[in-house]
A and B are shown apart, each in its own frame.
Chain A
Amino acid sequence: MAVLIVKHDSITPLLRNLAQYWRKPEDFTAVCARALMRDTQDFYAEKGSKFWGAIGGAFKDKSGDGVARISVMGEQGAILLHKVNGGTVYPKAPKKNLAIPASAEAKAAGWPSHGKTPPLRLGAWGKDGKPHALVEADVVRKVRGRWIKESPAFRRIWYWLVKSATHLPDPEALPPPERTRNAVLDVAIKRASEVMKTGKPA
């Protein structure tokens, strides 16, 4: 199962200390896990794109072994792992190339083969029998009063075709540890203060 565990594994002395205000340590951990999930969801929502929002939506909190942790499930977990660690991606067989968007418009349109309304009409352009890019197909222009088909070499490039692409690790793929630590501490302090006030453990 490709499940990424985002662990808040450095249980600081402060967090360990605050656990005393809960009757059961596992209840404290469950609340910490929930606080961690809320803040990490906020982090991805603040990043603003649909992609990051979807990762935030795949969260599941879990506090099974005394450590506050959340997991990112399924495909989103695998994508996040790739973002965190970086790596090289290859085309999926039987495809031979990856299509890398050549413009913001191409990026917004998604991948070349699916879901276009109306469909993008693209054709391969290359040299020596090897395709290098996907360009607009069937472009015509008027020359001396006659419509002629534009040479593929002068058409707009939508996607570059490559054999592989290497992504560097994204240092901002996970929320900064300081941020998550503070988010968890904030919730723990508030609840501990309520316990101090009433004299009754949570």
Chain B
Amino acid sequence: MPSPIVNAQSVMKVLRTFRERQATASPLSAKEWGEVPVEIRQNAFWSAKLEHAQHVAELKRTTLQALRGARVRVGALRRGRELTGDAADETVLMSKGQIISEMRAAALERGLEPTGPREMEDIASAPRIGLIVDMAEKMTYGKARWESGNDTAVLDAFPAQELVRVEPREKPRDWESRWQEAGDAVGWEGANANGRMVALKSSPIWVELSEFGLPYPPFDYGSGMGVRDVERSVAVELGLMADDDEAQAADAPDETRGSLKGLDEPERDWLLAQFREELGDGVSIDGDEVVYRRG
């Protein structure tokens, strides 16, 4: 195999992306945060109407530990303060459950009051803390996948993506209508208007679709929606891009050859069958080579 070259994003870079976000205490509501320029919002770690700087910083720190899959000493957690010896030195995975337990205790200790009557307005409520952790994790993974999905070689093979449900929801939102609205708003540039919710990765529909103005999932709070790579042939079929291969094929040499060395008889037969399925009867085997003849 060839010498190792990293051309996709590394796990460390994903974590750095999150670590570099600035913990920001602010009186802004989620709606008001939505109006903050995306470049600023994307680089901030915030929670609606949470003005306690230390609490925001602790939320960020524990979430980063969860992203790293870190284990922490029980004695370092609020619920383990009373413990001593081995019990305090025991370690636990910093899971979402741990963060909820820790940040609930922290919110109560700091006397953080709910900012409204709804459960999501109570910074000490489990659903609110869970949502913060979920969103932070998904944003980080979403950005990482989006960046590696735009790698030149990957983009060449998978130039488009499809909006799909990745997690079930009891009351799913109407994403088909939302797709239509977003498509109309961007004049269906690089996006499929009929049927499958497929668009080129470069289409502005992704940013339009997002509650957060970002081209990658999550596109809304707790949406359960994600994206799935779509091959070039499907993107061409849906009319999202021109068939460059057809144009290139016009200038192509009369035949193309590929080596079959290292393959046994059944593997050669299998490969021939696959190529014939894609290219028709113009494919044959000539000694140690597979040959495609045009015309």
Instruction: Please tell me the size bucket of the interface on A.
Output: 35 or more
With a cutoff of 8 Å between Cβ atoms, the chain A residues found around residue B98 in the complex are: 92
Asked if A60 and B11 make an inter-chain contact with CB atoms under 8 angstroms apart, the answer reads: yes
With a cutoff of 8 Å between Cβ atoms, the chain A residues found around residue B270 in the complex are: 14
Residue of B nearest to A42 (CB): B228
Asked if B157 and A48 make an inter-chain contact with CB atoms under 8 angstroms apart, the answer reads: no
Q: Nearest chain A CB to B247's CB is how many angstroms away?
A: 9
Residue of B nearest to A11 (CB): B1
With a cutoff of 8 Å between Cβ atoms, the chain A residues found around residue B229 in the complex are: 34-35, 37-38
Interface locus among B34-42, B51-59, B158-166, B191-199: B158-166
Asked if A64 and B8 make an inter-chain contact with CB atoms under 8 angstroms apart, the answer reads: yes
Q: Nearest chain A CB to B178's CB is how many angstroms away?
A: 20
With a cutoff of 8 Å between Cβ atoms, the chain A residues found around residue B261 in the complex are: 17
With a cutoff of 8 Å between Cβ atoms, the chain B residues found around residue A92 in the complex are: 74, 90, 92, 98
A197 within 8 A of B: yes
Residue of B nearest to A48 (CB): B168
Q: Nearest chain A CB to B93's CB is how many angstroms away?
A: 5
Q: A14-B270, A94-B80 are in contact. Are A61 and B278 (CB under 8 A)?
A: no
> How long is the Cα–Cα vector from A28 to B151 in the complex, in angstroms?
12
A171 within 8 A of B: no
Residue from A42, A74, A192 whose CB has the most chain B CB atoms within 10 Å? A74
Q: Nearest chain A CB to B187's CB is how many angstroms away?
A: 29
Interface locus among A65-73, A122-130, A152-160: A65-73
> How long is the Cα–Cα vector from A73 to B12 in the complex, in angstroms?
11
B279 within 8 A of A: yes
Asked if B138 and A57 make an inter-chain contact with CB atoms under 8 angstroms apart, the answer reads: yes
Please classify the interface of chain A as helix (H, G, I), strand (E, B), loop, or mixed, using the class held by over half of its residues. helix
B258 contact from A20, A67, A198, Cβ within 8 A: A20
Asked if A73 and B11 make an inter-chain contact with CB atoms under 8 angstroms apart, the answer reads: yes
Q: A30-B151, A34-B157, A92-B74 are in contact. Are A198 and B9 (CB under 8 A)?
A: no
Asked if A33 and B8 make an inter-chain contact with CB atoms under 8 angstroms apart, the answer reads: yes
B32 within 8 A of A: no
B111 within 8 A of A: no
> How long is the Cα–Cα vector from A43 to B197 in the complex, in angstroms?
20
Q: A31-B157, A62-B11 are in contact. Are A197 and B249 (CB under 8 A)?
A: yes
Question: Interface residues, chain A, CB within 8 Å of chain B?
Answer: 1-3, 11, 13-14, 16-17, 20-22, 24-28, 30-31, 33-35, 37-38, 41-42, 45, 48-50, 53-54, 56-67, 71, 73-75, 77-78, 92-94, 111, 114-115, 117, 187, 189-200, 202
Q: List 28 contacting pairs A-B, 8 Å CB cutoff, sorted by A.
A: A2-B68, A2-B93, A13-B262, A14-B267, A14-B271, A17-B267, A26-B4, A26-B7, A26-B153, A31-B153, A33-B8, A35-B157, A37-B229, A41-B166, A53-B166, A53-B168, A58-B141, A60-B9, A60-B14, A62-B10, A64-B8, A75-B66, A75-B93, A78-B93, A94-B82, A115-B126, A191-B157, A198-B245
- Apart from A26-B7, A60-B11, A115-B130, 15 more pairs, CB < 8 Å: A1-B68, A14-B267, A17-B267, A30-B8, A31-B153, A31-B158, A37-B145, A57-B166, A60-B148, A75-B69, A75-B96, A93-B87, A197-B256, A199-B248, A199-B253
